[in-house]
Structures are given as structure tokens and as C-alpha cells.
Structure 1
């Protein structure tokens, strides 16, 4: 495979880095442009053996500009359905490398897609993140089922929320609210009852009840 190289756009790089609180350098490639530039690489990646694919993900993730971390996650996500559970967990440590909400939520989508395609093993994916020391890992446990709608395992959702309901970290409380808000589209009665019977932060309640019908 030919290496993907993002040519730096100075003006956009500065503004994109500022939007992300200058935590990471950017090349200045907006998402639509990045998607166009990486289409071929994603397509060709589907022919790679796992070891070569994993090495390619590592190669791009180690590059300094943030767009390369996005590319690395896109590459493995394009191949998610062919991974075994053990291969999936190879990428768990990446979650807490160069971690911020943008990369962590992209990794959450990756793990969530695998769980949706291998639903009987989804609880094992959840268990890999639940109760972990790093809160970014636990954010994935809370938000793992965002796309599952009526297939959401409410027992696991409740377990993840209860574990972290008093955690002060903003991104944890935001995750709790997000998971409840998303599930309220499928089962508003369950979400309402959960909020009314569980002591949650004001942020989690505010976010989680956004779509609930007013009494």
C-alpha cells in the first residue's frame, strides 16, 4: 500500500488545533477532504493480513498530526467485521493513547460495531472496558450500546452508569447523559423510570432527559 500523506494547510491547521484546545497538532485536512484522500487506502486495507493491518494502524497512530489518528481508526473500523474477539482487543490500549473525546468516541464506534455484528459476544466487549482504571475506557463501557436501539442490554447499561454515577469527570457524566438520551428514543419509559429512581448528576439528568415527553 502507498503511504497516505496529508499536505499541511497552515490556516486550517491552526484553527482545527485551536478547536481541540491545542492538545494535538493538525495538518489542516477537514473530514470530507480526508475521507476522499483515504478512500483507496481503506479499500486496499481489506486485503491485508491482520498482522500487516495492525502494523499499519500503529504506523499512522504514531504520527503527530491528529488526522493520522483518525485515519488509523478508520482503517481498522473498515475491517471490523472480519476481526476475532482477540484481534479486537488488540486495539483496546489505543483508546487511552493520545486520548480525547474525538478519538475515544471513534474507538467506541469501532468496538460498538463489532459488538453489533457479534451480539452474543457483546457482553465480553463490555466487560473489557467496565470498571477499568482509566475513565476513557469506562466511557466506552457506558456508550458502547449507543447504536443498539431496542437491542440495548439495559442490565449492562445500568451497570455502567451506576458504577460511575458519582464520578466527577465531565466526560463520564456527559457519557451517562448521552447513553440515556440515545436510549430514550427507543424506550422513554425505561429511561424516565431510571432517572427518577437513581441519584444522578444534574448534567446526566439534563442530557438524558432531553427527548423525554413532558408530563
Structure 2
């Protein structure tokens, strides 16, 4: 793969579909300081994934993602290029190795929005932890990290196991307890999101975990946790 050529091609194809009105609306919605081209998500994804249609090597994939992540315009990172970096990593996540959890960490630490963090958390970090369980120790450190988006990543990485039918209940218990006192919306929402997904397959565990904590869990966490529970269980949680 000629990485430089692919980056230039991806950017050129996205710029050909630029919509300045969309770019401004997106900037406001995301409260973003980045440069926005203004490309729809389906169009962005199609262009990005064309760069890895022929399976690259692991080194080519990482180099491509890093190059896209580093693209700037008017001295600012380009939103769509960063999204493209994430798309190629997600598409070819099976090529990633344990050491690549540090690449994902670098991208998360360089982010300040769910729009970048969430796919990295579940599809990249979570996928790596599923394949290499020893990486769970990384999440154990991240859940107490000072940077909120790293803590959100630690929690949301558990979604991969939940969706795969292999939930890490011990870690979910510990992480949930670790973030009980969080006041930020994005952590509260993340915990509720994981509990909601788990409730589809193991509602009994969710009810047993949530009920003793209804006095300390936030409303957003409780509402998310109850959303997919049987009606009686949801009422028990929400009315407690």
C-alpha cells in the first residue's frame, strides 16, 4: 500500500463531496474546534473503507490510520480524516495486535468527543481485549484514569464481550462500583449503556446489581439500565 497516495485520495474524494452548510451544523452539534469538510457518515465510510478493501498488513493499517489521524487544514485536525482513521481500524480490527491498544489510547487521549471515542472503545479496544484477555489489566488502570474519555473507554470496552455473549461480569461489577460517584453525563450514560445491553441477555444479573445501588446510581444510568428489562423489573428499579 502507498499510504501517502491513499490518504491523498481519501481526502480528495471527501472534499469533492464537501457541504459547507453541513460542516457548520456538525461543528455546532459536536461543539468542535476541528476543521470540518461536511461529508455524510455513509459517504465518509464508503471512501474510508475503499482504502482497505484489499486487506493491508498490520503495519500498513496502523500507518494509514496514524496518517489520517494527523491530517490538518488551516492548522487544525480534520474531523473527517479522524473519522476515516477510526473506520479503517474498525474494519480491519482483526489485524491488530496487543501493542495496538496503545495506538487506540493515543487516539482517545487526543479526542474530546464521543464521536471518536465510542467506536474506538468498543470495536478496537473491546475487540482487542476479547482476543487477548490479558489486556483487561489495561482497562483496570483506565477506569481510574484522570481523563474522563479514557474512563468512558474502559467502561464501553466491556460492550464487546456483552454483545459477543461473553460478558466480563466481574469487571463490570468492579467498574460499575468504581464510577458510582461520577457526576459527568458521559460516564453515567456509558455505565447505563452497558447494563442495558447486558439486560437483553441476562436481566437477572442487571436487576441484582442495580437494585442495591438505586440510591446512588444516577437517573440516566437507571433509565438506561431499565430500558430493555421486563416491565415488572423495570418498574421495580425505577420506582424504588
Fold-level similarity (TM above 0.5): yes
Q: How does 1:10-159 map to 2 (within 5 A)?
A: 10-44=20-54, 46-48=55-57, 50=59, 52-63=60-71, 64-108=77-121, 109-116=123-130, 118=131, 120-149=133-162, 150-159=165-174
Deviates more, 1:74-83 or 1:23-32: 74-83
Corresponding residue pairs, total: 212
1:49, distance to aligned residue in structure 2 (A):
5.0
Q: C-alpha distance in 2, partners of 1:86/1:181?
A: 30
Deviates more, 1:143-152 or 1:174-183: 143-152
Q: C-alpha distance in 2, partners of 1:165/1:23?
A: 31
Q: Given that residues 42 and 74 in structure 1 are in contact (C-alpha distance below 8 angstroms), is that contact kept between their aligned partners in structure 2?
A: no
Q: Check 1:11–1:90 CA distance in 2 against 1; reply closer, same or farther (3 A cut).
A: closer
Q: Given that residues 181 and 211 in structure 1 are in contact (C-alpha distance below 8 angstroms), is that contact kept between their aligned partners in structure 2?
A: yes
Q: Given that residues 99 and 136 in structure 1 are in contact (C-alpha distance below 8 angstroms), is that contact kept between their aligned partners in structure 2?
A: yes
Q: C-alpha distance in 2, partners of 1:49/1:165?
A: 38
Q: Given that residues 77 and 110 in structure 1 are in contact (C-alpha distance below 8 angstroms), is that contact kept between their aligned partners in structure 2?
A: yes
Q: Given that residues 57 and 76 in structure 1 are in contact (C-alpha distance below 8 angstroms), is that contact kept between their aligned partners in structure 2?
A: yes
| Higher alpha-carbon Rg | 2
Partner of 2:158: helix, strand, or coil? Answer: coil
1:133, distance to aligned residue in structure 2 (A):
1.6
Partner of 1:147: helix, strand, or coil? Answer: helix
Q: Give the TM-score, by structure 1 length.
A: 0.89
Q: Check 1:87–1:81 CA distance in 2 against 1; reply closer, same or farther (3 A cut).
A: same
Deviation track 1:111-166 (CA, whole Å, cap 9, x = no partner) reads 112223x1533523423523212111111111112132331011101111111111
- Give 2:235's aligned residue: none
Query: What's the RMSD between the two structures over aligned residues?
Result: 1.9
Consecutive unaligned residues in structure 1, runs of 5 or more:
none
Q: C-alpha distance in 2, partners of 1:30/1:163?
A: 37
Q: Give the TM-score, by structure 2 length.
A: 0.80
